[in-house]
Structure formats: C-alpha cells, structure tokens
Structure 1
Amino acid sequence: MTDAVGSPGLWIRITHRFGPRMMEWFMAAHTVVWGWVLLLPDRIFDQPSWSGFRQIFRDEDALGWIMVTLGLLRFAGLVINGARKNVTPRIRQWSAGVGCLIWVGISYGYASSGVVSTWLAIYPLFAIAELVNIHRAARDQGGVARGKGYI
C-alpha cells in the first residue's frame, strides 16, 4: 500500500509506529476515560477521597470536560505524528509533558484528601510513565536531528 507520493502508505506508517508508542496511546485513552467518568451522573466529588479535587475544581463536570478534551487532543497529536512521513516528535514531547502534569495533579488531588487508597499505586506511576514517554520522544527528536532515522 502506497500513498500518492510512493512512500509507505498512511496505514502502514501509523501501525508501524503504534507499538513503540503504545504507552502514549494508553495514557491518552486513560485521560479521556478518567474525564468521562467525571461526566457520569453520579457525583464523584462528594466521596471523601475526592475532597481534594472538590477544593481545587469545585465542578467535576468542568474537570471532566478538560480531561476528555486533553485526551482527545493527545489522540489527534498521535495520529498526526504517526501519519506524517516526516514526523515531529515535539508533539509527543509536549503531550507527554502535559500528561505528566495531569497525573501529578491527580496524585496531588487525592493526596490532599488525606485518604490513603489504591490511587497511591496508580497515578504517581502514571506520572513516571509520562517522564519515560518524554524521554523516548526526546530521543526520537535527537535521532531526527542527527539524521539517524525515526520510527
């Protein structure tokens, strides 16, 4: 399958690049789903473990829409980055940086509640995973700059 300029087809480029970036796709999906859960009819902020979020955001629907939007923007960036013949790892660096801030912020929200729960085993590790994603994208950027290719 080739596109109009004879290079590997769009679908081949996206699928070839998906594997090494699977964690970035996962984090984008997790961001969207996390926001979607806040948009459900049940009032999550009323639960004790969410009191830190209630103090910061007041409106869980607003936070829900922010998270859904940021996750969808990350998906768009990954598709654009994966579809282009000459990729731009900076999109991935920025989105992983924003993702790191998101997961640090979520960890802070839970920690502010004073309730110890499974969040402690999840969201701080997501923030660390985003640091790994930043590193990988930066390494890819270095490879492009040195002309050593790019996945």
Structure 2
Amino acid sequence: MEPSSYTGPGIWIRITHRFGPRMMEWFSGAVTATFGVILLVGDNLFAQPSWAGFSAFFGGSQELFGVIMLGLGMLRLVALIINGAKKKVTPQIRQVAAFFGLAIWFGVVVGFYSSGVISTWAAIYPWLVVAELTNIHRAAHDQGETRNGRAD
C-alpha cells in the first residue's frame, strides 16, 4: 500500500507541482490573512465612513473582524499546504475553502456597498468574488478527475 503523502523533499515537490494551477486559491488565502492583519494593526478603520457596514455588523469590533479574517486566511493556507502534500488530491477541502472565500468576499463587497461610499473597493473586491467562483469550479473539476481516476 502506498503512503497517502510523501515525506522529506517529496512534499515540497508535490506542493510546488500543484501550486501553479491553484495560484488563485493561494492568493485568496494570502489576501484574506493580510486583510485581517491590516484590521488588527490599522488605526480605527471602523471610524471611517466606508467601513460603516462592517462596524454595524461586528458591533464596532474591528479586532474581532481582524481575527476572523486572519484566522480564515491562515486556515486556508494551511489546508492548501496539507492538500498539496498529499499524494491523492482531496478537492473537497478546496471546494469548501473556496465556498468560504466566496462568502467572505461577497460579505466584504456588501459591507463596503452598504456604506454608500464608492471607492477603490468597487474595483477590487467584486473580482475576488469572481475568482472564488472560478476556484470552486476548478476544485469541482478536479473532484471529477479524481473520481474518474485521472488526477494525480
């Protein structure tokens, strides 16, 4: 019976092999975590008019929102590392992560939109929603290949 993951340098080879096709998933995880860090170190962002929707939803707790975003971003990155190291792919993990990413970025769009302030958020965050839809589609495609025995 073959092991379910490689050991030693083989782990790095497997992760780097799968990194390219999943780059947008890595990007989304990194942006989510970084968004959380900015919320944790930013000076009273919730006091700004464009953050009014977030302040209302999180009860004025910018720190709570920051911890949630940082935690979810890190969780996604760890899941991608683990999934990338496994010999047999598990696209369901990626589908769930992308679904949460979709919910996160849709929520961010709604939060900024609800403020009534139009700024650069409108040029960035809606595209992250589209990216997560693409990530869901790609992971579902990989699941089909796994089911049919064509995935590595």
Normalising by structure 1, report the TM-score: 0.93
In structure 1, runs of 5+ residues without a counterpart are none
State, as a whole percentage, how many aligned pairs show the same letter. 55
Alignment partners' CA distance in 1, 2:18 and 2:52: 40
Alignment partners' CA distance in 2, 1:72 and 1:98: 13
Q: 2:103 pairs with 98, 101, 112, which one?
A: 101
Q: How many residues align?
A: 147
1:1-151 alignment to 2 at 5 Å?
9-57=10-58, 58-150=60-152
Cα pair 2:91 2:142 within 8 Å, conserved: yes
Alignment partners' CA distance in 1, 2:141 and 2:36: 30
Letter paired with 2:33: V
Which consecutive segments of 4 or more residues in structure 1 shift more than 3 A?
3-6
> Per the alignment, in what secondary structure is the counterpart of residue 42 of structure 1?
coil
Cα pair 2:6 2:85 within 8 Å, conserved: no
Cα pair 2:51 2:115 within 8 Å, conserved: yes
Alignment partners' CA distance in 1, 2:103 and 2:91: 19
- Once the two structures are superposed, residues 108-137 of structure 1 have per-residue CA deviations (whole angstroms, 9 ceiling, x without a partner) of 000010001111111111011000000000
- Once the two structures are superposed, residues 55-112 of structure 1 have per-residue CA deviations (whole angstroms, 9 ceiling, x without a partner) of 1112010000000000010011100110000110111000000000000000000001
What is the alpha-carbon root mean square deviation over aligned residues? Answer: 1.7
